[in-house]
Structure 1
Amino acid sequence: MELAELPGSTRSQAFAVNAAGVLVGVSGTDAGEYAVRWASNGTLSQLPMPPGAMWSDASAINDAGLIAGNIDLQAAWWSPAGAVTLLPVPNGFSGSYVEAVNADGVMVGDALRGSSGNYGAIRWTTGGTATELAMLPNAHSAHATAINASGFITGYVDVGPARHAVRWAPDGTITDLGVLPGANLAIVWGINDAGIMVGAALTGEGPQAVRWAVDGTATVLGMLPNGTEARAISVNTGGTIVGDVTLSDQRHATRWSKQGAVTDLGVPPGRVASSAYAINDTGVVAGYSIDVNDNPHATRW
């Protein structure tokens, strides 16, 4: 079902969902989007911003209700009661963005390194401590995309023209998950508390959804019939994965079972495409659907 939008909005997206079924994301127009929270019953509320702020988004929520996101190109978080705190931009960086938060409130994302166009992967505590994560040798840019309850972080690092999937241990040690044979691009988007990782990799057949085992072994996930591209974006504790598969040049929200069975979650009536960004342990899926004008609308499956 599609979720409510702020008055006057023409677009919205749901990026995350917690165990209670509370979703977070954005709602607004091309001129500006704002961080929002949907209660499990669908009730919509806009998250507050500091005076003078122009826009915001909510990218993650943990089971305690702590929300992580961004305000005017600066990482931020909201308490369950809605109080907002801006996180410091690390020294040497000019902007920051949070992608994920774990059960302890540790947040990860990236920050722009000056005017270089390169990024550093960053870990923040709610107290404001920011730590840049290690790079691979000869890398010039890094992004952190997810963090699990044990503190393992996933993401990707750019080394020359190649993009490598990586994992950081709680002590900061980086592991290169590499790329698939014959390819030069792989990204990890999600990790569950068991350490199973999901993402996408470029292969000879185009972008494919991938699952990595704890030991780093990569498995290409199945494709919907007539699918040409696929991404795996989130994985829950039970190993169910969601993302999307491209059919006839349009993405379809997709779910993979732990055993690998693939299911098209479909496109709501009147929409032309969809994508799934997150799944909780009861199977509630957050994402968006696309209208004929290419505007996304927050959707829950």
Structure 2
Amino acid sequence: MSSLRLLRRPAFYAALCMILVIAGASLPAVASPAVSAVRPIELRGLPGAPQSAVYGINNDGVLVGSSGTEDEPLAVRWSPAGAITRLPMPSGATVSEALDINGTGAIVGTIDSRAVRWNPGGTITRLTVPAGLTESYAIAINDKGVTVGDALVAGSEDRYHALRWTAAGAATDLATLPGADNTVATSISSTGFVGGYVDVGSLRHAVRWTPEGAISDLGLLPGGTISIAWGIGPTGTAVGGANSPNGSRALRWAPDGRLTVLDLLPGGTDARAVAINTYGTIAGDASTSEGHRHAARWTEGGVTDLGTLPGHLASDIYAINDRGVCAGFSFDVNGDPHAVKWETTNE
């Protein structure tokens, strides 16, 4: 598991582990994997950096993420051709992560556990939070400059409030469910829909916010305790994952709330959908018959195993653009992540 990105935070790390690990008997796969015409391309990290990962990509093919060591990742940007640039930090800062990029080139992420936006002109904007909140994380940004993320409740180790920042930087505390202990925003669409999850007691519920801020509970699988909306499209279609007594599954929620359980890879027991583009193509990861986790893509033709870099055993996707380019990382034999994009070939 990569220690890069905010997955190191308890709320995100626990959510990912529970979705991928809590599983009983497998549910049968209902489709064979589509024939892949996609190949992984490694994106070189900073000189001497053992780890790198991509978390965001825009429609121009510019990618953002982190490169560095386990304890000191640094925010970076890759050009479509793969040239890497380290993003600036204020004097004295030590850790940074770039988590998303929009069509104008604005990038959001964190510097020393504070939400920031790197503006196209090279300046950095600190995204402030409401009173009573401390550590903050800017997770996603759309082309209108609206950003979502969350911030830690002061005095707490793992209670978060989901936030939305306007392009001007004004923060709004997003609505939550009755009895909620924790609220996290994971994604925002071009039209302002927001995906995420809410903890209520021992249960974690996938939720969706409308552009106006109204929240809806997307529910759980029968017998399950966890669901998360990781990605969201322009019409409000959300994608994510949930556990159940029969395994953890990748899910798609239609705008009207109708649920579709996405296919597993043959012999696999678990899957998770993370991102969806304007055309409805879904990206995420799924377990193979050998028990490894591989980057995966879902289209109308079924599920495709996108594989790993040569010699690697596992891979994850965290973003997809409207050209179908997926981005994430591939794990080497030492468990270190290497930044990767998956592009369609002419084969």
Alpha-carbon distance, 1:260 to partner: 5.6
Find 1:293's aligned residue among 314, 330, 334: 334
Q: Structure 2 matches for 1:126-205, cutoff 5 A?
A: 126-205=167-246
Seq. identity, %: 53
Q: Structure 2 matches for 1:63-142, cutoff 5 A?
A: 63-116=103-156, 117-142=158-183
Does residue 12 (structure 1) correspond to residue 52 (structure 2)? The answer is: yes
Find 1:40's aligned residue among 80, 100, 116: 80
Does residue 210 (structure 1) correspond to residue 237 (structure 2)? The answer is: no
**Cα gap change, 1:260/1:161 in structure 2, threshold over 3 Å: closer, same or farther?**
farther
Which aligned runs of 4 or more in structure 1 are off by greater than 3 angstroms? none
Alpha-carbon distance, 1:88 to partner: 1.1
Check whether the contact 1:222–1:260 (CA below 8 A) recurs between aligned residues.
no
The alignment partner of 1:237 has SS state of: coil
RMSD: 1.1
* Structure 1 unpaired stretches of 5+: none
Query: Residues of 1 paired with 2:129 and 2:216: CA distance?
Result: 26
* Structure 2 unpaired stretches of 5+: 1-40, 343-347
Letter in 2 for 1:255: R
Check whether the contact 2:268–2:291 (CA below 8 A) recurs between aligned residues.
no
Query: Residues of 2 paired with 1:256 and 1:201: CA distance?
Result: 17
| Cα distance per residue 1:265-286 (max 9 Å; x no partner) | 0111121111111111111110
TM-score (norm. length: structure 2)? 0.85
Partner of 1:221: 262
Check whether the contact 1:74–1:89 (CA below 8 A) recurs between aligned residues.
no
Alpha-carbon distance, 1:81 to partner: 2.8
Partner of 2:282: 241
Letter in 1 for 2:328: G
| Cα distance per residue 1:106-159 (max 9 Å; x no partner) | 100111001222111011123221111111001110000111122111100000
Does residue 251 (structure 1) correspond to residue 271 (structure 2)? The answer is: no
| Cα distance per residue 1:153-211 (max 9 Å; x no partner) | 11000000000111111221111111122212110000111221100011222211000
Find 2:66's aligned residue among 9, 15, 26: 26
| Cα distance per residue 1:65-103 (max 9 Å; x no partner) | 111111001000111232211111321011101111111
Query: Residues of 1 paired with 2:144 and 2:234: CA distance?
Result: 13
Query: Residues of 2 paired with 1:61 and 1:197: CA distance?
Result: 19
Query: Residues of 1 paired with 2:151 and 2:130: CA distance?
Result: 8
Check whether the contact 1:221–1:260 (CA below 8 A) recurs between aligned residues.
no
TM-score (norm. length: structure 1)? 0.97
Alpha-carbon distance, 1:249 to partner: 3.1
Q: 1 or 2, which has the higher helix percentage?
A: 2
Does residue 3 (structure 1) correspond to residue 77 (structure 2)? The answer is: no
Q: Which range moves more in the overlay, 121-130 or 135-144?
A: 121-130
The alignment partner of 2:243 has SS state of: strand
Q: Which range moves more in the overlay, 19-28 or 29-38?
A: 29-38
Check whether the contact 1:6–1:27 (CA below 8 A) recurs between aligned residues.
yes
The alignment partner of 1:205 has SS state of: coil
Letter in 2 for 1:72: D
Aligned residues: 300
Q: 1 or 2, which has the higher strand percentage?
A: 1
Query: Residues of 2 paired with 1:230 and 1:265: CA distance?
Result: 13
